[in-house]
Structure 1
Amino acid sequence: MNNNQSASALLHAAVIAGAALCGQAAATEGGGSIYPNGVENFLVGAMPPPGFYPLVYATSYHATELRDDRGNDIAAAIGGFKADVAGVIPRFIWVTGQKVLGGQLAVHAIVPLLNVDVRVGANRSRNTGIGDINLAAALGYHVSPELHYVVALETNAPTGRYDRSDVANIGRNYWNIEPLIAVSYIQPKGLNADIKLMYDYNFRNNDTDYKSGQELHADYALGWGLGKGFVAGVSGYIYRQITDDKVAGHAVAGGNRGRAFAIGPSLRYQNDKGWMFTAKYEKQYDVRNRSSGGAFWIKTLIAL
């Protein structure tokens, strides 16, 4: 397939590459995904004691490259490409005192507030608003003072603004369910290792009759405890789309399967009162069938 053919095949995938914070090299329809890959970091598998915990994530993503199935940048072939996504994402966690199957029961809600600015060739659009809301139930387990894990089931509702003709949609316009397991190994002075492994099943977009493929992906962090609440290291994500996209029940030519790998520096601070702050930058590599760029993330946990 030559560059012009690749550009034509990927044009639809490009037009909402920034949607729902997933210009960060996700897969599926529009070159995006409901889950914002790379959002999580240290302590992802360590559920806190019972209580109410507000968190705030903030992010800024920028991309000017659009990769085809072979990893070639075809942005110039479609007249240029740029995606900028900024978001403030409140997350509200309630850790109950109830035990289920030996695990600590918790529920959460995430309400992303997004600004999406995308240009594909001569087409440009910018939208701001509430994205797709995430709801989840989780069980937390504490194997030892160092080892912790969480199992959870999340669902994403199509609450964000969507217009099939827009190049900068905020929502995905389909339901999604995501089972996951997150594991954390923690030492105040020493090794810190975290992984959050997720599987996404996407339902059909009724406006386009497009059913995005299933996705397997993981956020990770690896660092060293420096004492006094500081951990420094690297973090990122690994992403693979494992089934083909379908339109009207038929597989899209080539499957439109996305993949990506991201890595970058990460720093965490947590005080003895439970407040936590993390900051990181992640650059994408080995990208296929979506935009390629970098994202800056900040995460704050507020202890009440």
Structure 2
Amino acid sequence: MSTAPAPFRNDPSRGWSPSAALLVALGGVVTSTASHADEGGVSFWAPGLYGSLAAVPGEAGWSWATVYNHTSVDGGGGRTFLRGGRFESGLSARVDGVFFGPTYTFETPFLGAQAALSLTGIAGRSEASVDATLTGPRGNTISGERSDARTAFGDLYPQFTLKWNQGVHNFLAYGTGGIPVGAYNPNRLANLGTGHAAIDGGGGYTYFDPKSELEFSAVLGFTYNFENPDTEYRNGIDMHLDWGASYFINERLHVGAVGYLYNQITGDSGEGARLGDFKSRVAGVGPQIGYMFRIGERINAYLNVKAYGEFAAQNRPEGWNAWVTLSFSLAQPGR
């Protein structure tokens, strides 16, 4: 017999159906952790990571998520960034990464909530270029274009979540971090690893009422960055807010909007932070579409596509990014 919270069972009196329950069960699977390089105005946290249904509990057992992310940014010739001990201007970058990993959702409640553990890895290609390197770590001036590209594996990202349900109201608490084992070289422009460890935690809320066919989610978190031992650079504490809103056209398809706000609330530090506080900020907004389906008798699947256009960037490259998520979970017997 299923021990899922009552709202996630097939209860016609609440307007639920197997298809709606399937989408909810996958809501927590699509939030794999990912990041890009440190310094250069780019954070450990990838804005846009969380989205719709972020706080909704799912079904117990194993699930798997694969997320493709494309990021294209341009710092512009008038912006200067510190990367690997060098001051560089005209920075532009493109990253195509695939984030993948399992999640295990526990059947027994913990602190009255549904608990889950996940581990995410990344593999992909990073390309970067600068119009000019203004000065090197010893004060040597260098000019001219410079570019780099790298295909490799990145860091590992464990995560623990707790989710509570109270009717149409859902609540989330999470903790995650970065284990710096990925490809990183402070002398290269393109990296898949961060070069430093980080911890991140926060909470979220989802309003989801199948009767009204409306959903809204928001997740607020904070990142503490450890010092990069190669560059003696430490990013400040970051605040990030991700949100998503959607309308269910039918039991399988929903459309809506997504957005984020990233804002660094304390300055960078360490001997390598020669640009001072260098606090960064960026916002993004865009559309999303999601579709869920079943493979065979036991495999639930969910496909989501979302994209963000960025604006209001400060001390950070600005551009656009897109996410394509495909997740799978095993349905409970009889579901």
Task: Provide TM-score, normalisation by structure 1.
Answer: 0.83
Structure 1 residue aligned with 2:125: 115
**CA distance in structure 2 between the aligned counterparts of 1:98 and 1:33, rounded to whole angstroms:** 35
CA apart distance, 1:247: 2.1
CA apart distance, 1:44: 1.2
**CA distance in structure 2 between the aligned counterparts of 1:252 and 1:215, rounded to whole angstroms:** 19
Are positions 1:280 and 2:306 aligned together?
Answer: yes
Query: What do the CA deviations read for 1:182-238 (whole angstroms, capped 9, x no partner)?
Result: 222223453210112111000111111111100000111012222222221110211
CA apart distance, 1:157: 0.6
Tell me the SS of whatever aligns to 1:278.
strand
Structure 2 residue aligned with 1:134: 157
**CA distance in structure 1 between the aligned counterparts of 2:91 and 2:227, rounded to whole angstroms:** 27
RMSD: 2.3
Identical pairs, percent:
23
Tell me the SS of whatever aligns to 1:100.
coil
Query: What do the CA deviations read for 1:146-205 (whole angstroms, capped 9, x no partner)?
Result: 222221111211111111111111111111111121222223453210112111000111
Structure 1 residue aligned with 2:177: 155
Match of 2:101, as an amino acid?
Answer: R
Are positions 1:36 and 2:46 aligned together?
Answer: yes
Are positions 1:182 and 2:204 aligned together?
Answer: yes
Aligned length: 273
Tell me the SS of whatever aligns to 1:31.
coil
> Mapping of 1:1-304 within 5 angstroms?
21-22=35-36, 29-66=39-76, 80-121=90-131, 122-144=145-167, 146-188=168-210, 189-248=212-271, 252-271=274-293, 274-304=300-330
CA apart distance, 1:79: 6.9
Q: Is the 8 A contact 1:281 1:294 kept in 2?
A: yes
CA apart distance, 1:253: 4.2
**CA distance in structure 1 between the aligned counterparts of 2:119 and 2:77, rounded to whole angstroms:** 33
Structure 2, unaligned stretches of length 5 or more?
Answer: 1-33, 81-87, 132-144, 331-335
Tell me the SS of whatever aligns to 1:153.
strand
Q: Is the 8 A contact 1:164 1:207 kept in 2?
A: yes
Structure 1, unaligned stretches of length 5 or more?
Answer: 1-19, 71-77
Structure 2 residue aligned with 1:7: none
Tell me the SS of whatever aligns to 1:119.
strand
**CA distance in structure 2 between the aligned counterparts of 1:267 and 1:102, rounded to whole angstroms:** 32
Query: What do the CA deviations read for 1:24-45 (whole angstroms, capped 9, x no partner)?
Result: xxxx622222221112221111
**CA distance in structure 2 between the aligned counterparts of 1:253 and 1:126, rounded to whole angstroms:** 26
Structure 1 residue aligned with 2:27: none
**CA distance in structure 1 between the aligned counterparts of 2:249 and 2:215, rounded to whole angstroms:** 10
Query: What do the CA deviations read for 1:105-150 (whole angstroms, capped 9, x no partner)?
Result: 2100010112100001211111111111100222121111x22222
* Distance change in 2, residues 1:80/1:173 (3 Å): closer
Tell me the SS of whatever aligns to 2:163.
strand
**CA distance in structure 1 between the aligned counterparts of 2:122 and 2:89, rounded to whole angstroms:** 31
**CA distance in structure 1 between the aligned counterparts of 2:166 and 2:76, rounded to whole angstroms:** 43
Match of 1:298, as an amino acid?
Answer: V
**CA distance in structure 2 between the aligned counterparts of 1:143 and 1:285, rounded to whole angstroms:** 36
* Distance change in 2, residues 1:79/1:139 (3 Å): closer
CA apart distance, 1:68: 6.7
Q: Is the 8 A contact 2:64 2:101 kept in 1?
A: yes
CA apart distance, 1:59: 1.2
CA apart distance, 1:47: 2.4
Tell me the SS of whatever aligns to 2:249.
strand
Higher relative contact order (CA 8 A, sep 6+): 1
Q: Is the 8 A contact 1:66 1:289 kept in 2?
A: no
CA apart distance, 1:67: 8.3
Q: Is the 8 A contact 1:124 1:167 kept in 2?
A: yes
Match of 1:230, as an amino acid?
Answer: L
Match of 2:265, as an amino acid?
Answer: I
Tell me the SS of whatever aligns to 2:108.
strand
Structure 1 residue aligned with 2:85: none
Q: Which has the larger radius of gyration?
A: 2
Q: Is the 8 A contact 1:67 1:287 kept in 2?
A: no
**CA distance in structure 2 between the aligned counterparts of 1:214 and 1:261, rounded to whole angstroms:** 17
Structure 2 residue aligned with 1:15: none
**CA distance in structure 2 between the aligned counterparts of 1:289 and 1:67, rounded to whole angstroms:** 12
